[in-house]
Chain A
Amino acid sequence: MNEILAPLLSYVLLYKYVAIGLIVYTSAMILPLPTNAMLLAVGAFASQGYFNYWILVPLAVIANTLGDLTDYGLARYYGDWIVRVLRLQKLRFYAQLQEELRTDATVTVFITRFAGSLSPIAALFAGLVAVPLNTFFWPDLLGNIIEPGAAVTIGYAVGNYWSDFSSTFDLFAAIAATGILLFVLARIYHRMMKHHNLA
């Protein structure tokens, strides 16, 4: 088993809902923890009666959303300073990315919820380019209902065999992350070509 996952699961069994909330929150914020595998396991524990499924799902959704909102809020508050310090405003690619996020914020925020480690980066970028809070919050919440909800439910369904499915779930997340990156780059490329042809 994953070197990080085993101690995480021990903490989950020892401190229950508090540990789950903290792990999901910190992972949503920035730490690359194997949250999906952990939620699969927690779903399996729920099927054995050790946790309550109806508490787990809202807890995972709220913790995930709060983590994303923290990233978004920090980036939004310190965004100008970060852009100035890193001199991002001079990068053409940053300008394209900014345009991409502002134009299709709803779709971009929603689909990046399924991209594992890319998710906090997207939340930070959304704050950095000042995507309006409403435009960020609702697709973020919807994505967060689907993703952790799916992990807990699959764990609940597969029970003791959850560990056999955790690598499959990770592969799905990696495919989603790669596909989303490809999609965003393709859109930026398409937009550049359109500007170029107009010029």
Chain B
Amino acid sequence: MQVRYNGGMARIDRIRRVIQVAMVILAALLFILIFFLVRQSMILRREQVLSARELWISNLLKRRGPPTQSDVVFVQAWMTFDYVNQLFGIPPDYLQHQLSISDPGYPHITISGYARHYNLNVAAFLADIDRALVGYLTPATSTRPGA
């Protein structure tokens, strides 16, 4: 009876030790994660992302104005043409004509998907889109329909 009791106590002690070790590891992990979080927020502050975000929010509150040429950097390969058209407020057929797109799926197709399907270099195709957008958004260049 005493042996069984001692065996049970030993098992509880073992579980307790395992929990203690797990708690120490988790506490260390928590400390490391908090360190990374602080570092991340310092990076965001240093790279002025936070101030840019504040500017964005104030613009949003003031009913954000039309996109500018600097917004072209936000275009990514995973985006669809439909989204890019809406993001920059351009007519749906503008990019289609500028880039000679004849795919029937346009504009509901991703930039990377289109480039891969027609064996185009994704980065080069993205650069073409950027140029077309800059052309549309530059006031001096009258590429806008009716401009």
Chain A residues with CB under 8 Å of chain B are: 1, 6-7, 9-10, 13-14, 45, 47-50, 92-93, 96, 157-161, 164-165, 167-168, 171-172, 174-175, 178-179, 181-182, 185-186, 188-189, 192-193, 196
Counted as pairs of residues, one from A and one from B, with CB atoms less than 8 Å apart, the total is 102
- A and B contact pairs by CB, cutoff 8 A, 23 listed: A6-B78, A7-B78, A9-B78, A9-B79, A10-B110, A10-B113, A14-B109, A92-B15, A96-B15, A157-B60, A160-B56, A161-B56, A164-B49, A168-B41, A168-B44, A171-B33, A174-B33, A175-B37, A178-B30, A182-B27, A189-B16, A189-B19, A189-B23
- B side interface size, CB within 8 A: 43
A6-B77, A192-B19 given; 4 more Cβ-contact pairs under 8 Å = A158-B57, A160-B74, A182-B30, A185-B22
Chain B residues with CB under 8 Å of chain A are: 11-12, 15-16, 18-20, 22-23, 26-27, 29-30, 33-34, 36-37, 40-41, 44, 47, 49, 52-53, 56-57, 60, 71, 74, 76-80, 82-83, 86-87, 108-110, 112-113
Which partner residue on chain B sits nearest A172 by CB separation?
Answer: B37
- State A50–B81 Cα separation when bound (angstroms): 13
B11 partner, pick from A47, A92, A172, A188, beta carbons under 8 A? A92
B44 pairs with A13, CB closer than 8 A: no
- State A165–B36 Cα separation when bound (angstroms): 13
A178 partner, pick from B19, B26, B110, beta carbons under 8 A? B26
How far apart are B51's CB and chain A's nearest CB, in angstroms?
Answer: 10
B16 pairs with A175, CB closer than 8 A: no
Question: Binding site of A, secondary structure by majority: helix, strand, loop or mixed?
Answer: helix
A161 pairs with B80, CB closer than 8 A: no
